[in-house]
Amino acid sequence: MDAAEFRRRGKEMVDFVADYQENIEHRRVYPDVEPGYLRSMIPSEAPLEPESYEDVLRDVDRVIMPGVTHWLSPHFYAYYANSTSFPSILADLLSSGIGTIGFTWAANPACSELETVMLDWLGKMLQLPEDFLSETQGQGGGVIQGTASEATLMALLSARLKTVKCVQESDPQRSEADIISKLIAYTSEEAHSSVEKASIIGGVVIRMVPTDEHFSVRAETLEKMVAEDKATGYIPFFFCATLGTTPCCAFDKIDELGPICNAENIWMHIDAAYAGCAFICPEFRPLLNGVEFADSFSINPNKFLLVGFDCSAMWVKKSADLTRAFQMDPEYLKHEHQGSGLVKDYMHWGIPMARRFRSLKLWFVFRMYGLRGLQAFIRKHVELAKTFENLVRGDNNFEICAEVVMGLVCFRLKGSDELNKALLKQITRTGKIHLVPCTLRGRFVLRFVVCGRTTELRHIQEAWKHITELSSKLLQNLFDHEGKEN
């Protein structure tokens, strides 16, 4: 395919994407396919000779689309969103078209520098303390990670190295392995599974901190655990706070946890993957109070800021904590400005060495929406969630299971877990809307997250109507069944 054909096919693909998104609400949001459906639909080997583009595109409709979970559908209320937008898609197309790879500054100066400045822009939108910004020429700065999992892992690994070095300073005889075997990390029992995964990768023990009645980690709980562990010879070194947990969007009390972490030399990382995006609205910013105590902080613009996956923004107070952990400079990656303090070689800031030109997505989206446009988007989602909450509260068969702060509503039928599982199964099988569950205090709960960029009031009302229709049938069956039994 040469450039001339690409012009034609590319424009067709733009229309294909536009058509897809314009008509997405008429598709079944959760696919009706069985495991292994795809293999039998395509050959078992790559073709020897080129095929026609028409055949490939036809197969997108025939093979791919029936098996897609439509994340961009207004009927999609699962997980947290991939909140992409057209400007983000354009920026990604540009990134693919330039085809550059970033790792050192020299590999693509524009890629490295735009990333630095965009993280400053976003940091200011969030009113982060100056310590976290690059423009102040201090020790802090931002970086784009692929996912929040990687941000958490980088924070934990950096904390591990920092603590090992710190312990060895006062006790030079002690081996790294011995110190690591005594390290202990903490996170909320409500935290994302990636925190536990990071501890396994890092080879350190992790303890889950119980939460209060609002599903928040509180200072006294952590304080007590830290004291216990120190008494038995452990070295508390890392606490991952969550702002906006995955199950119910709960918020750890970082303003009271931060001082403890600082006093105990515990690295505090804040995982605010979803909710952190909303801190660009002044009314939500108080939830971030205490960030000044953190060593690192991350949010996922791809969850709630109209930027497509993958884009996880991470800030650290002392970037050397990250970079010195993994600094490696083979000859083929050296360049004349390295070590000058003037440039950022982001390869030292993350797990993968290379990176796409992802800051373009942030730049396009920030400029095409403006801060006010992004705030309006977030507020609309929160308002729609409040509407759904009110619908649930107005129905005596249902209960709300956690405070609704942003775009997530946790709810359930009053009754058994089995009843709620049956309801979710019906919802999934019908495929008109898509939800996933969570467990709260041992109970099976349904999560309803406003996800779509194009989700409107009518979709919320339709979704609720659909849920109550399915639940009414279930309750009727249950009633009939119980009637027969009695």
* DSSP element (H, E) containing 326: helix 319-326
Give the number of residues in contact with a second copy, rule: CB under 8 A: 149
Strands 205-209 and 296-299: unpaired
Residue 412 binds a second copy (CB under 8 A): no
In angstroms, the Cα distances linking 376 to 191, 278, 327, 380 are 28, 10, 41, 6
What is the closest distance, in whole angstroms, from the C-beta atom of residue 331 to a second copy in the complex?
Answer: 4
Neighbour-count burial of 310, counting CB atoms closer than 10 A to its CB (0-12 exposed, 13-18 middle, 19+ buried):
middle
Closest approach of Cβ 395 to a second copy, in Å? 23
User: Is residue 377 at the binding interface for a second copy, with CB under 8 A as the rule?
Assistant: no
Measured distance CA(192)–CA(242) in Å, rounded: 8
Q: Does 419 bind a second copy (CB under 8 A)?
A: no
Question: Taking CA 55 as the corner, what is the angle to CA 53 and CA 57, rounded to the nearest 5 degrees?
Answer: 70
Residue 166, interface with a second copy (CB under 8 A)?
no
Residues 309/302, Cβ–Cβ less than 8 Å: yes
Of 133-162, binders to a second copy (CB under 8 A) are 135, 146-147, 149-150, 153, 157, 160
Which member of 54, 58, 60, 165 binds a second copy (CB under 8 A)? 60
Q: Which is nearer to a second copy, 89 or 320 (CB)?
A: 89
| Closer of 252 and 345 to a second copy (Cβ) | 345
Cα 400 to Cα 236: distance, rounded to the nearest angstrom: 36
Closest CB to a second copy among 210 and 370?
370
The torsion region of residue 405 among left (phi > 0), alpha (psi -120 to 50) and beta comes to alpha
**67 counts as binding a second copy under rule CB under 8 A:** yes
Instruction: Please say which residue, 2 or 485, places its beta carbon nearer to a second copy.
Output: 2
Q: Does 201 bind a second copy (CB under 8 A)?
A: yes
224 Cβ contact partners less than 8 Å away, ≥ 6 residues apart: none
Show the tokens assigned to 298.
């991350």
What is the 8-class DSSP label of residue 295? S
Min CB(90)–a second copy separation in Å: 5
Does the protein bind a second copy through residue 376 (CB under 8 A)?
Answer: no
Nearer to a second copy, 329 or 395 (CB): 329
Contact 440, 402 (CB under 8 A): yes
Rounded to 10 deg, the angle between the 457-485 and 359-393 helix axes is 40
Q: How far is the CB of 122 from a second copy (least distance, A)?
A: 7
Among 29, 74, 77, 108, binds a second copy (CB under 8 A): 108
Window 22 to 41, contacts with a second copy (CB under 8 A): 22, 30-31, 33, 35-39
Stretch that binds a second copy, among 229-237, 256-264, 363-371, 462-470 (CB under 8 A): 363-371
Interface region with a second copy, contact rule CB under 8 A, candidates 210-218, 359-367, 397-405, 457-465: 359-367
The tokens 């093979």 sit on which residue? Answer: 63
For the segment 313-352, give every residue that binds a second copy (CB under 8 A).
Answer: 325-326, 328-334, 336-337, 340, 342-343, 351-352
Residues 438-477 that bind a second copy (CB under 8 A): 438-439, 444, 447
Q: Rank residues 405 and 410 by Cβ distance to a second copy and give the closer one.
A: 410
What string marks each residue from 274 to 313 as x (binds a second copy by CB under 8 A) or -? Answer: ----------------------------------xxx---
Using CB under 8 A as the binding rule, whether residue 233 contacts a second copy is answered as no
Q: How far is CA 434 from CA 127, 196, 201, 351, 430, in A?
A: 35, 27, 32, 33, 9
- Whether 56 contacts 62, CB under 8 Å: no
Taking CB under 8 A as the criterion, the residue among 21, 139, 262, 468 binding a second copy is 21
Residue 121 as a binder of a second copy (CB under 8 A): the answer is yes
State which residue, 219 or 320, has the beta carbon closest to a second copy.
Answer: 320
CB atoms within 10 A of CB 220: 10
First to last CA, the chain: 72
From the CB of 336, what's the least distance to a second copy, in Å? 8
Find the shortest distance in angstroms from Cβ 99 to a second copy.
5
Q: How far apart are CA 292 and CA 295, in angstroms?
A: 8
